[in-house]
Structure 1
Amino acid sequence: MTTEPFLETDLLGEPWVARRLPVTVSEDAPGADHAVLVHQRQAMPAPGQGPRHTRAVLYLHGRNDYFFQTWLADALAGAGYEFYALDLRACGRSGVGYRSPHDVRDLRVYDEEITEAARIIREEHGHTVLVLNGHSTGGLQAALWAGDHPGAVEAVTLNSPWLDLQAGGLMRSYGSAFVDLLSRRDPDRIVVSDPLAQGVPGWAGDGDEPADWAFGATLGDVSDDLYGRTLHRRWGGEWDWDLSLKPTPSFPVRAGFMAAVRRAHRDVHHGLGIEVPVLLCCSTASATGAAGEGLTPQEALRQDLVLDVSQMVARAPFLGSDVTVRQIPGGVHDLVLSPEPARSDYLSALTGWLATRVG
């Protein structure tokens, strides 16, 4: 007898439901024992029936993030794709009560839940086409997984993926070596309070040593997070996400996590060999770290304040042999949070590319 999976109404409300996915507890994410798969209730076919869409998208969130962007799902549904989102272990819905949300020591620890989500989508729900969609750190994660699992998906779509460290070459090498050494001695050490929303403090130039205060930093004030302040409704922005799941400033980054990200960046640099078509979308402009100081809210809402888009474009050829880059004028870091018309431009670029390359 087949047991029906337990689905509970998601925090987004009906028709969104959440399914807990047990995972093997690992020393790379101590104590984390589950992930959460989110989809609409109607995505699970009735007995004896097929799915309402044969094609599906699996979304992976960024760091200090969770799935709440239902308008992304709406756009993909309109293009004929069922939408699934995975809150990875220790992250978002799965990180409630966790000792240090989003803190893992190896990004490949997430392979288990991504693989299980893909199995559910294909085997239990009957989708014959699967596209992986990832944002920021989730974009890095999606690229790694696709490279490690040839044939598992039909395409990969990336929204401002974190493919390199936004710093000079010397700091990307010697600074990374320092963090790697620190991670072996003290993986829980906070190395920077918010490396994405502010750039990496003390990692800004080729000739500088990491600033002493960057190691052992603590959470700052919301005034330090221009990205969050320009977007969230509490400070006059357009969006109203749950600040307990996506706080501003972000959850602090620890040495073990940063070392894991840098290992993944080296994998990208060596070439991932993704065998399916890849779409990489990002803004046309960046203003990370000190470059973002003094921007007006209007200026901040027209560029990526988190990552360097030139690095994304430069790293795109390392992902695979069939990579399309589309830059969105006026886009912010999470392109689906961009003000109009950039938001619609991104969604059109995504769905148009899928129609051309996947069907």
Structure 2
Amino acid sequence: MTSGGDAADPAPGWRPDVLGAGYEQHTLPLPPDDAGPVVATLVRHVPAADDPDLGLDVLYVHGWSDYFFQTELADFWGTQGARFFALDLRRYGRSLRPGQIPGFVTDLATYDEDVAAARAVMAQDVPADRPRRLVLMGHSTGGLTLSLWAARHPGEAAALVLNSPWLELQIREVGRALLEPVLQVDARLRPAHRLPVVDRGYYTRVVSDAYGGEWHYDLTWRPERGFRVTSGWLAAILAGQDRLARGLDLAAPALVLLSTRSALLPRWDPSMTRADVALDVDGVARRAADLGRHVTIARIEDALHDVVLSPPAVRREAYATTARWVAGTVTLTDAAAAAGRAPRPHGPAPSRPRLHVRGPDRRRRR
């Protein structure tokens, strides 16, 4: 497997990103893990001149077989008064190097190193007397990963926004209880054992412009049928879901965005263009209550698995929902205090949410 990038890592520091003007990337050297040398990659969005600054930093983490390319999402967070950063985790996207097994880890807590490295760079040039509030946003496995991170680091995040987070297995708790012991044995004996491919490529057919969808992205970093999962990685996911099922008791408020329906079908069906084809959204909605004390679940009609890749009208609703939640929850100082922090306010909160959505041509529509 090749990464689509150079074998040798560039000198540290910010440099132009593959997304073009307004985006920069920073390679984050990490301690080697059991599978060898690794890096993560932090991407930042340069905000528009008229974007407010309310002292928020958003850190976005992608899902399985994925990387950050959703520029419209970065634009949205800019209008909400946030600096936007996205993290390509080790062995994903910009961080994937030749010879590596894509996405391979055996414990989701390993990503604490990736997040710590990202936050250290995000903190550069931030005055000590004006701390910024951290909003975590994760999609699919990234949502699970960040939820567990927040539980291990209480008080660090002011809020979480979870976009179709993989909080429960598609066969739900009973199936997970049956599968996990068998998989854990295989993971101990041969953690890098690659399991059969189960992705039939239907999701790619819905979203990729290579197959008639709306979105352009690198099919090397986000392949048509996904990367093959390993025993060690899947065991780590199940262990994380089991930990969540016992309750995380997060103090920070969380917004969970989900489609109203799933389409987990063995053959192509047009309903897949208006549903989540990856997760059992009803099972995830039930499990979301175990995240913590203040959980808002927003079911978005006709949303796809990645809600912000849904058709225009659907994602406008998702952005509007998130904007209302941000204005009513995240920008309030008592939300930060509930998460164990009381940062100094950065100017007045907007009287109502500002929602500017940039389409695939990356021009602003007002």
Shorter-chain TM-score range: 0.7 to 0.9
Tell me: CA distance 1:273–1:124, structure 2 relative to 1, closer, same or farther (3 Å).
Answer: farther
1:348 correspondence with 2:320: yes
Distance 2:214 2:80 in 1: 25
Tell me: CA distance 1:295–1:123, structure 2 relative to 1, closer, same or farther (3 Å).
Answer: same
Residue 38 of structure 1 corresponds to 43
Deviation at 1:318, TM superposition (A): 0.7
SS at the partner of 2:183? helix
Deviation at 1:42, TM superposition (A): 6.4
Residues 45 and 74 of structure 2 are in contact (CA less than 8 Å); yes or no, is this contact kept in structure 1?
no
Deviation at 1:190, TM superposition (A): 1.6
Deviation at 1:123, TM superposition (A): 4.8
Tell me: CA distance 1:65–1:326, structure 2 relative to 1, closer, same or farther (3 Å).
Answer: same
Residue of structure 2 aligned with 1:308, choices 274, 280, 295 = 280
SS at the partner of 1:318? coil
Deviation at 1:176, TM superposition (A): 1.6
Distance 1:274 1:130 in 2: 14
The Cα RMSD (Å) is 1.9
Distance 1:272 1:75 in 2: 29
The TM-score, its normalising length taken from structure 2, stands at 0.82
Residues 100-249 of structure 1: matches in 2 within 5 Å?
Answer: 100-126=101-127, 128-167=132-171, 169-194=173-198, 197=199, 224-249=200-225
Distance 1:61 1:181 in 2: 28
Residues 47 and 83 of structure 2 are in contact (CA less than 8 Å); yes or no, is this contact kept in structure 1?
no
Residue 92 of structure 1 corresponds to 93
Tell me: CA distance 1:90–1:254, structure 2 relative to 1, closer, same or farther (3 Å).
Answer: same
Residues 260 and 303 of structure 2 are in contact (CA less than 8 Å); yes or no, is this contact kept in structure 1?
yes
Deviation at 1:53, TM superposition (A): 5.2
Deviation sequence 1:193-251 (CA, Å, 0-9, x none)? 14xx4xxxxxxxxxxxxxxxxxxxxxxxxxx2111111111111111111011001001
Residue of structure 2 aligned with 1:295, choices 265, 269, 272 = 269
Letter in 2 for 1:230: V
Residue 72 of structure 2 corresponds to 71
Deviation sequence 1:115-159 (CA, Å, 0-9, x none)? 232233245445511100000000001100111101111101100
Letter in 2 for 1:81: A
Between stretches 275-284 and 161-170, larger displacement belongs to: 161-170
Residues 90 and 98 of structure 1 are in contact (CA less than 8 Å); yes or no, is this contact kept in structure 2?
no
1:335 correspondence with 2:296: no
Residues 12 and 28 of structure 2 are in contact (CA less than 8 Å); yes or no, is this contact kept in structure 1?
no
Letter in 2 for 1:286: S
Distance 1:289 1:282 in 2: 18
Structure 2 unmatched ranges of 5 or more = 1-10, 332-366
Tell me: CA distance 1:20–1:263, structure 2 relative to 1, closer, same or farther (3 Å).
Answer: same
Deviation sequence 1:151-195 (CA, Å, 0-9, x none)? 11110110000011111554322222111111111112122314x
Deviation sequence 1:78-131 (CA, Å, 0-9, x none)? 111111000011111101324211111111100012123223324544551110
Structure 1 unmatched ranges of 5 or more = 44-50, 198-223
